[in-house]
Amino acid sequence: MRFSVIVPAYNVQDYIVSCIDSILKQSFRDYEIILVNDGSTDATFEHCQELRKKNTCIKLVNKENGGLSSARNVGINQAEGDYLLFLDGDDFWRDDDFLENLNCIIETNSPDTIIFPYSYYYGKDRIKEYEFDLSEVSSSSNKFSDDLYLLIDNGIWYPSACNKCIRKDIVAINNISFPLNMTSEDVKWCFELSQHIASYYIYNKGVYMYRQNREGSISYKLKMKNLEDLFLNIENVLSGSKKIRDADYLYLSHYYLEVIPYVMPFLKNPNIKRMLSKYKWLSKYSKNTRNIKKRIICFCLTYMGFRLSSLLLSILVKLYKST
């Protein structure tokens, strides 16, 4: 079997059918869907059962709620495909030929991973489509480690499982699993994955529709736990790795800077402020990045401090999202 598509689902009764339909309508048919209901308290499981009855390609797993990482790990353990794909239960794929095109890339290049961009879905009438800037990076290479710094700097390799198609053997042989009981679980997982990838290919179409502003979504609003897990992820990477490459520092720097526009409500918490200060040194690795957004955040942080930076950047983010 070529692909295992892992779909974790928790309280997504309004979205799970369209999510699964976007897989079922694929022109390439050599795949399985591993649908993991993570203890939903709404009608999600009932929808999953109906989908399973009608489609033999679906493996349905019903488990107690354990979080996104737990559901994904269960899916990985159930997977029989050569390559893994992750699709969250409230998102969907846009193109019917997505898997067919991925298979053509695999047949021709046999990469360890295929990377593709998101599109941001606010509704049928508002979709922000993205493509990667490939001016400094080839679309295909057998030298992932050599290109990793450029991939990070150009916003191509970042903490997300859902924008990658990954050779399953790499995950299985190296026992790469998502950390439990944490948000931002992709950070450590993608870091560990990057240690073992030899070759890559970039499929530069934003076929993954990443649903925005959904109430109940983990990404809907930054919470205290997100910040606490941010620092824990950084600490785990720094303390658990024998060798940290320059690319790894850039990776953590971008991740650290990503939350600065949203920290204003938490600056009265002495622990949060202490941890922000502790890891501020990471920002220097983004001083000359090609990522304009990260460079602006780094500049503000250098000359304005946390409070003014967060205030100004939060305004800029709101203006950007309103366009």
Q: Where in the chain is the domain with CATH 3.90.550.10?
A: 3-211
pLDDT of residue 315: 84
Q: What pLDDT, on a 0 to 100 scale, did the predictor assign at position 322?
A: 57
pLDDT in tens, 214-232: 655 544 456 788 888 889 9
Cα distances from 213 to residues 89, 205, 227, 321, in angstroms, run 15, 22, 19, 11
The predicted pLDDT at position 153 comes to 94
Q: Which pLDDT value is given to residue 214?
A: 64
Q: Which of the four pLDDT bands, split at 50, 70 and 90, describes residue 92?
A: very high
More confident residue, 99 or 290: 99
% of the chain at pLDDT higher than 70: 94
The listed range with the strongest mean pLDDT (98-102, 141-145, 236-240, 293-297) is 98-102
Residue 149 vs residues 92, 152, 194, 243, 279: alpha-carbon distances, Å:
29, 5, 11, 15, 20
Higher pLDDT, 267 or 47: 47
pLDDT at 317: 74
pLDDT, greater one: 5 or 271: 5
Predicted pLDDT of residue 220: 45
At residue 241, the pLDDT reads 84
**Among the ranges 60-64, 130-134, 263-267, which has the highest mean pLDDT value?**
60-64
Which CATH number applies to 3-211? 3.90.550.10
Residues sharing a CB contact under 8 Å with residue 99, sequence separation 6 or more, in sequence order: 2, 3, 26, 27, 28, 31
Mean pLDDT of the chain: 92
Across residues 284-295, what is the average pLDDT? 90
pLDDT, tens digit, 9 for 90 and up, residues 189-222: 999 999 999 999 999 999 999 998 765 554 445 6
- Confidence (pTM): 0.92
Distance of CA 18 to the CA centre of its chain: 20
DSSP symbol at 179: P
Which residue do the tokens 């850039």 mark? 250
User: Phi, psi (5° rounding) for residue 240?
Assistant: -100, 5
